[in-house]
Amino acid sequence: MKITGVMMQYYKACKRELWFYANQINMNYDDENISIGKLLHETSYTDERKNIIIDDTIAIDFIKKEGEQLIFEVKKSSKLKIPTMYQIYYYLWYLKNKKGININGIVVYPKEKRREEISLTSEIEKEIEFIVQDIPKILEEKTPPKAENKKYCRKCSYYEFCMV
């Protein structure tokens, strides 16, 4: 099974959203935050080669040399910091384990004028390996995982689908 960075992010944010996404139940088509994020991607870092797709599995926003080669992920907000970090961890893990490339990453929040460096540790690597094994189990289920009411649920495009 092909596991993408978005799937890794959804796994950490909401396993129910992961299941919906993988089963092509997409509620994001008119989500304002998605539109803002796309615009941010288009207008930020205009000199960089963007949307680098590797093995039709991971989609790196851009790669840049800042002393060393780094992969970059551009996000609108740091509100889903942990899920975003795991998306980058997965990219780093994938590049190391599938391509033999050891690299670090940076998450950039242009609206917040912040950036966060991301490195793969052996502990995180083990967790990613567990998640890579767990995602297919979740997706094989006939029904989505139970809804959990988290603080960011109200802003999710699936909110009414889950909570009403």
pLDDT at 41: 47
Q: Which residues contact 126 (CB under 8 A, 6 or more apart)?
A: none
Tens of pLDDT along the chain (164 residues) come to 899 999 999 999 999 999 999 998 876 555 555 454 455 545 555 555 578 999 999 999 998 887 788 999 999 889 899 999 999 999 999 999 999 999 999 999 998 999 999 999 999 999 999 999 999 999 999 999 998 888 888 888 888 878 76
Q: 5-163 in CATH: which number?
A: 3.90.320.10
**Biggest CA-to-CA distance, the chain:** 50
Give the tens place of pLDDT for each residue, 30-47: 555 545 445 554 555 555
What are the residue ranges spanned by the domains of the chain?
Answer: 5-163
In terms of C-beta distances under 8 Å and separation of at least 24 residues, what long-range contacts does 153-161 make, across chains too? 153/14, 155/33, 156/14, 156/17, 157/27, 157/28, 157/31, 157/34, 158/16, 158/17, 158/20, 158/27, 161/20, 161/25, 161/27
Report how far residue 58's alpha carbon sits from residue 45's, in angstroms, rounded to the nearest whole number: 19
CB 144 within 8 A of CB 19: yes
pLDDT at 104: 97
pLDDT at 38: 52
Whole-model pTM?
0.84
pLDDT at 65: 83
